[in-house]
């Protein structure tokens, strides 16, 4: 299995280099819009060789692009139309607004000097640029990863390179896994796990409630003030709260994936796409029901698990909180939400309702494994 990641580095450009990069990203942008118009006028071409055949020479001559960059313009434009078509969007001209450039490794960019300097093509000449990379991203500069495309992006007068890397990961046969962990996110706890060894763990996020209360109080005070300054402060508080939530998600996903590695486990998650999270949510549970925080935690778990060569399954969330984990009876009134009790109407099985969904998720993963083994 191939895993793909993107990381960014900040370029330390001299003034001369900035103007060369400015020219290059501006030309590239104009070339994108030119090629997009040609594609559009010819029936929205999304086939790269076909578009390249028509526009390649123009892209080289009109916009001064190097050979590989002209090819990358065609790739980007065809990608845009292919995406539109897969979303059933037709008759809409794809437009590009922000200056950028897309480079290919080995052709338009490469690393020098023990990967402390990056060499970049511009439409004027090749330049050598020192760069900064944060510690978390340094692993992508090791031999383990293969470099792919690079995108130059300007943000607040600084240039960044977003670099795609990939790595081939050996996947274990499904029969080799020793454990199956079901994970439920965002019910009464941030996450709940239940596995083949009947281990149960609740991730409560103890400090989360205190934090919420503190920020809620602060926000209320600021709202009463109603000034412009107070409004900005509320924004800052929201961002801080988000960052804290992201940090908590990182910690929880790491803890879960570490346990999965230890026990060589398949991870089972609910496929949350398509669920309307805003409905039927009690006010006091709102925070945990914020969908981005959910998605983020699931993404972190998936990402970390796949990096370690573990298998992740996404199962259909239908009836996971109404099904009896013992006899399989499905009924809405199996669950007493007020008392937080699950009592099966068919067999009488009783349990605290926090665990029901997690158990059912784990069971669905187990069934899926049996199905896959039989294939």
The contact set with Zn ion (CB under 5 A) reads: 324, 326-327, 329, 344, 346-347, 349
Quote the DSSP letter at residue 326. T
Quote the DSSP letter at residue 125. -
Strand 265-270 relative to strand 312-315, pairing: parallel
Q: CB 358 → Zn ion: shortest distance, Å?
A: 16
Q: CB 346 → Zn ion: shortest distance, Å?
A: 5
Q: What is the DSSP string of 16-69?
A: HHHHHHHHHHHHHHHHHHHHHHHHHHTT----HHHHHHHHHHHHHHHH---HHH
Taking the least distance from each CB to Zn ion, the nearer of 61 and 347 is 347
Taking the least distance from each CB to Zn ion, the nearer of 119 and 322 is 322
φ, ψ dihedrals at 71, nearest 5°: -65, -40
> For residue 337, how far is the Cα from the chain centroid?
33
Taking the least distance from each CB to Zn ion, the nearer of 349 and 366 is 349
Alpha-carbon span 153 to 161, nearest angstrom:
6
Q: CB 328 → Zn ion: shortest distance, Å?
A: 7
**CA proximity to 368, closest of 268, 298, 281, 220:** 268
Q: CB 363 → Zn ion: shortest distance, Å?
A: 12
**CA proximity to 187, closest of 354, 17, 3, 23:** 354
Q: Measuring CA to CA, how many Å separate 106 from each of 109, 119, 357?
A: 6, 10, 50
Coil, helix or strand for 248?
helix
Q: CB 44 → Zn ion: shortest distance, Å?
A: 55
Q: CB 322 → Zn ion: shortest distance, Å?
A: 11
Taking the least distance from each CB to Zn ion, the nearer of 107 and 326 is 326
Q: Could you tell me if 119 and 109 are in contact, meaning their C-beta atoms sit under 8 angstroms apart?
A: yes
Q: What is the dihedral of CA 134, 139, 143, 146, to 10 degrees?
A: -80
Q: CB 343 → Zn ion: shortest distance, Å?
A: 9
Taking the least distance from each CB to Zn ion, the nearer of 339 and 347 is 347
Query: Which tokens in the block code for residue 29?
Result: 């942008």
Q: CB 329 → Zn ion: shortest distance, Å?
A: 5
Taking the least distance from each CB to Zn ion, the nearer of 305 and 344 is 344
Taking the least distance from each CB to Zn ion, the nearer of 182 and 325 is 325
Q: CB 298 → Zn ion: shortest distance, Å?
A: 28
Taking the least distance from each CB to Zn ion, the nearer of 40 and 349 is 349
List of long-range contacts for 317-323, beta carbons under 8 Å, 24+ apart: 317/270, 317/271, 317/272, 317/275, 317/361, 319/360, 320/184, 320/270, 320/356, 320/357, 320/360, 320/361, 320/364, 321/353, 321/356, 321/357, 321/360, 323/356, 323/360
Taking the least distance from each CB to Zn ion, the nearer of 149 and 334 is 334
Q: Could you tell me if 144 and 42 are in contact, meaning their C-beta atoms sit under 8 angstroms apart?
A: no
């Amino acid at each position: 299995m191939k895993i793909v990641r993107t990381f960014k580095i900040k370029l330390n450009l001299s003034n001369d280099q900035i103007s060369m990069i400015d020219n290059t990203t501006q030309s590239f942008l104009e070339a994108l819009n030119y090629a997009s118009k040609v594609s559009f006028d010819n029936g929205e071409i999304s086939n790269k060789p076909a578009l390249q055949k028509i526009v390649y020479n123009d892209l080289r001559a009109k916009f001064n692009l190097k050979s590989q960059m002209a090819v990358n313009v065609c790739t980007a434009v065809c990608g845009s139309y292919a995406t539109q078509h897969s979303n059933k969007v037709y008759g809409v001209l794809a437009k590009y607004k922000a200056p950028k450039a897309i480079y290919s490794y080995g052709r338009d960019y490469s690393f020098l000097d023990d990967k402390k300097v990056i060499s970049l093509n511009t439409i004027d000449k090749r330049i050598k640029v020192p760069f900064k990379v944060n510690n978390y991203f340094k692993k992508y500069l090791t031999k383990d990863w293969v470099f792919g495309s690079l995108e130059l992006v300007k943000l607040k007068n600084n240039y960044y390179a977003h670099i795609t890397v990939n790595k081939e990961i050996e996947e274990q046969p499904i029969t080799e896994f020793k454990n199956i962990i079901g994970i439920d996110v965002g019910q009464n706890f941030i996450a709940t796990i239940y596995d083949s060894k009947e281990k149960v763990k609740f991730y409560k996020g103890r400090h989360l409630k205190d934090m919420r209360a503190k920020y809620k109080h602060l926000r209320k005070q600021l709202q009463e003030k109603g000034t412009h300054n107070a409004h900005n402060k509320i924004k800052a508080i929201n961002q801080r709260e988000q960052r804290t939530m992201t940090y908590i998600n990182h910690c929880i996903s790491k803890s879960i994936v570490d346990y999965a590695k230890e026990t060589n486990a398949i991870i089972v998650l609910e496929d949350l796409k398509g669920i309307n999270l805003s409905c039927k949510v009690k006010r006091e549970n709102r925070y945990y029901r914020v969908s981005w925080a959910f998605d983020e935690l699931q993404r972190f778990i998936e990402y970390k698990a796949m990096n370690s060569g573990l298998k992740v399954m996404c199962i259909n969330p239908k009836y996971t909180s109404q099904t009896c984990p013992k006899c399989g009876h499905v009924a809405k009134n199996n669950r007493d939400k007020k008392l937080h009790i699950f009592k099966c109407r068919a067999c009488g099985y009783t349990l605290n309702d926090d665990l029901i969904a997690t158990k059912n998720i784990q069971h669905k993963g187990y069934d899926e494994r049996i199905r896959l083994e039989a294939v």
